[in-house]
């Protein structure tokens, strides 16, 4: 077989791509993984900013497929930092010999389905390949969102983005630093910068809810307890709605008496981290229930921030708690008590331009030595949008998604045979412990490939009706919650504003997994599988 033809091409070298590579190799198929960066690790390779760490506990944000590694690996902190997570990923790759099938510094520019051969042609900046199957493991948070602000080329200082932080250390000691954005990366980096910079000015447009990580070094007794019951813990994460090792409290916040409700919130605030969202079962279902959480968190912000005006600016009022992904950080709010930290309200005074010396808002000129954009990602579909992906009839994925990203199960798109997406739109992905979701997707895909081999199928393809029904199902689930109230990156709206798609699956990891298993057990309902002699016939003809 030619080095340029493979059974499977995988795009993306993060947690999803590497596990997919491992499973494909176990099937005995030829495979190559293409990664645009100069190292593996995906988001954990590029997000090297000070303070970068996971918001899911280390012992749960890790692969479950290697039980021996569960016992051997030692996490040093409750929430692993970026260097430790990257070290773990690299260790897994070396332990399982994955690097030999990885091509680094290889950017995929186009993927085209050839209807004559039933294969995918993959064009990269280093040459062309062909494959039966193309698996997009491009990551939900992999393409930085760069603000469209005029003048960025004029700035004489240093301009940085948290999602593409330099590998070499950045000396910020004694510098005047601007941080634009107070999402997850902003809440993590601001305390770190404030500890070394001369002054940090934080530009906030929309405050988000930040719950305390309660971060600490790994307790040896806790580690022994986890390792003694790891198999059960792994089973639990696969069956909870969140993919975390804790399930939702089935009590109602709306119905609980104030004393009981306060006690639950205090306990969650003290221990749960990201799991604070699981304090009561109706927090994302009714505004009355959610308001109790909002009031509690507003009170906690007021307790931590000494200046009442600053505290008020940091208290979200335009969306219910949890309808945007909550941030998890340890000292973000208290950092604003420092003399060298200032908060600027972009709603009152928007940024007009980057200048040679700093930033200009509609109210004032601000001088800086360094500007840090902590403005997040073109989430979930960003990396797919940047590749020219053509399916049947030459239709591009961008054209297919003109009214919003549609898929069947977040795994496949109608009109794009043998193309698979891991944690794509329509899957739990960012609303769950994403490692649990990744493993479920990879294992489901591996099962599909085995089924195709056993039955002699050459191609599979999602039916358009199944895709439409799934998108409608995901939107209906979202509409039954408070999620649509927020203007969040969970939602994608077409340029006309007529079509709106809620991208992650909001029904929970447990319910989603059960449906995927039912579809596979029922002969892959909603998919058309064809042998080679029929594989070139378009779906529905």
- Is-contact 272 279, C-beta < 8 A? yes
Distance of alpha carbon 16 from alpha carbon 42, whole angstroms: 9
- Domain locations in the chain as residue ranges: 5-143+379-534, 152-373
Distance of alpha carbon 488 from alpha carbon 384, whole angstroms: 19
- For residue 541, name the pLDDT band (cuts at 50, 70, 90): very low
Q: What angle do CA 97, 62, 69 make, to 5 degrees?
A: 55
Tell me the DSSP string of 408-434: BTTTB-TT-TTEEETT-TTSSGGGS-H
Distance of alpha carbon 166 from alpha carbon 370, whole angstroms: 13
Those residues whose C-beta lies under 8 Å from the C-beta of residue 447, and which sit 6 or more positions away, are 520
Question: pLDDT for 471-529, tens place per residue?
Answer: 999 999 999 999 999 989 999 887 777 788 999 999 999 999 999 999 999 999 999 99
Work out the mean pLDDT of the chain and round it to a whole number.
Answer: 95
Distance of alpha carbon 435 from alpha carbon 85, whole angstroms: 12
Quick one: what percent of the chain has pLDDT higher than 70? Answer: 98
- Other CB atoms within a 10 A radius of the CB of residue 83 amount to 12
Q: Does the predicted model carry a pTM greater than 0.85?
A: yes
Question: pLDDT for 517-531, tens place per residue?
Answer: 999 999 999 999 999
- Is-contact 485 323, C-beta < 8 A? yes
The CATH T-level fold of domain 5-143+379-534 is FAD/NAD(P)-binding domain (3.50.50)
Question: pLDDT for 67-124, tens place per residue?
Answer: 999 999 999 999 999 999 999 999 999 999 999 999 999 999 999 999 999 999 999 9
Backbone angles phi, psi at 321, to 5 degrees: -60, 135
- For residue 33, name the pLDDT band (cuts at 50, 70, 90): very high
Question: pLDDT for 247-279, tens place per residue?
Answer: 899 999 999 999 999 999 999 999 888 889 999
Specify the residue for token string 């073109």: 378
Tokens of 270: 């003290």
Q: Are strands 388-390 and 108-114 parallel, antiparallel or unpaired?
A: parallel
What SS3 state is found at 343?
strand
Question: pLDDT for 145-176, tens place per residue?
Answer: 888 899 999 999 999 999 999 999 999 999 99
Mean pLDDT of the region 418-424: 97
Residue 130 has pLDDT above 90, yes or no: yes
Q: What is the pLDDT of residue 1?
A: 39
Q: What is the pLDDT of residue 390?
A: 98
Residue 11 has pLDDT above 70, yes or no: yes
Beta bridge partners of 359: 354, 366
Q: What is the pLDDT of residue 2?
A: 52
């Amino acid at each position: 077989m030619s080095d340029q033809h493979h059974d499977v091409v995988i795009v993306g070298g993060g947690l999803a791509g590497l596990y997919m590579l491992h499973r494909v190799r176990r099937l005995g198929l030829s495979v190559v993984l293409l990664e645009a960066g100069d190292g593996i690790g995906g988001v954990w390779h590029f997000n090297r900013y000070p303070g970068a760490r996971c918001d899911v506990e280390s012992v749960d944000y890790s692969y479950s497929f290697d039980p021996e590694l569960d016992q051997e690996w030692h996490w040093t902190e409750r929430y692993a930092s970026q260097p430790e997570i990257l070290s773990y990923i690299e260790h897994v790759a070396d332990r399982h010999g994955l690097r030999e099938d990885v091509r680094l510094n290889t950017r995929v520019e186009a993927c085209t389905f050839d209807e004559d051969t039933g294969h995918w042609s993959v064009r990269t900046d280093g040459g062309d390949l062909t494959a039966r199957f193309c698996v997009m493991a491009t990551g939900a948070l992999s393409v930085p969102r760069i603000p469209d602000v005029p003048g960025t080329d004029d700035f004489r200082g240093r301009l940085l983005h948290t999602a593409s932080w330099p590998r070499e250390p950045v000396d910020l000691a004694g510098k005047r630093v601007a941080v634009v954005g107070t999402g997850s990366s902003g809440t993590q980096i601001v305390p770190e910068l404030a500890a070394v910079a001369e002054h940090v000015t934080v530009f906030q447009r929309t405050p988000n809810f930040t719950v305390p990580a309660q971060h600490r070094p790994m307790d040896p007794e806790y580690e022994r307890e986890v390792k003694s019951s790891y198999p059960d813990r792994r089973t639990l994460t696969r069956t909870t709605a969140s993919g975390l090792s804790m399930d939702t409290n089935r009590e109602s916040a709306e119905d609980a008496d104030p004393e009981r409700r306060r006690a639950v919130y205090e306990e969650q605030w003290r221990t749960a981290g990201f799991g604070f969202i699981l304090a009561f079962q109706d927090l994302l279902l009714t505004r009355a229930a959610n308001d109790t959480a909002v009031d509690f968190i507003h009170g906690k912000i007021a307790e931590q921030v000494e200046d009442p005006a600053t505290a008020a600016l940091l208290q979200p009022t335009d969306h219910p708690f949890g309808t945007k992904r909550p941030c998890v950080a340890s000292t973000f709010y208290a950092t604003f008590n420092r003399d060298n930290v200032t908060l600027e309200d972009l709603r009152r005074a928007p940024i007009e331009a980057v200048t040679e010396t700093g930033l200009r808002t509609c109210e004032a000129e601000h001088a800086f030595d360094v500007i840090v954009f902590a403005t997040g990602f073109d989430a979930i579909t960003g990396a797919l949008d940047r590749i020219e992906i053509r399916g049947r009839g030459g239709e591009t994925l961008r054209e297919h998604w003109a009214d919003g990203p549609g898929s069947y199960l977040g795994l496949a798109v109608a009109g794009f045979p043998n193309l698979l997406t891991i944690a794509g739109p329509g899957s739990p992905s960012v609303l769950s412990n994403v490692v649990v979701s990744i493993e479920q997707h990879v294992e489901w895909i591996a099962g599909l490939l085995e089924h195709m081999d056993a039955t002699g199928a050459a191609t599979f393809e999602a039916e358009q009706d199944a895709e439409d029904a799934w998108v409608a199902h995901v939107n209906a689930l979202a509409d039954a919650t408070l999620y649509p109230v927020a203007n969040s990156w969970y939602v994608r709206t077409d340029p006309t504003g007529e079509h709106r798609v809620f991208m992650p699956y909001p029904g929970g990891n447990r319910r989603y997994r059960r449906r995927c298993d039912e579809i596979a057990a029922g002969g892959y309902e909603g998919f058309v599988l064809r042998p080679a002699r029929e594989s070139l016939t378009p779906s529905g003809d």
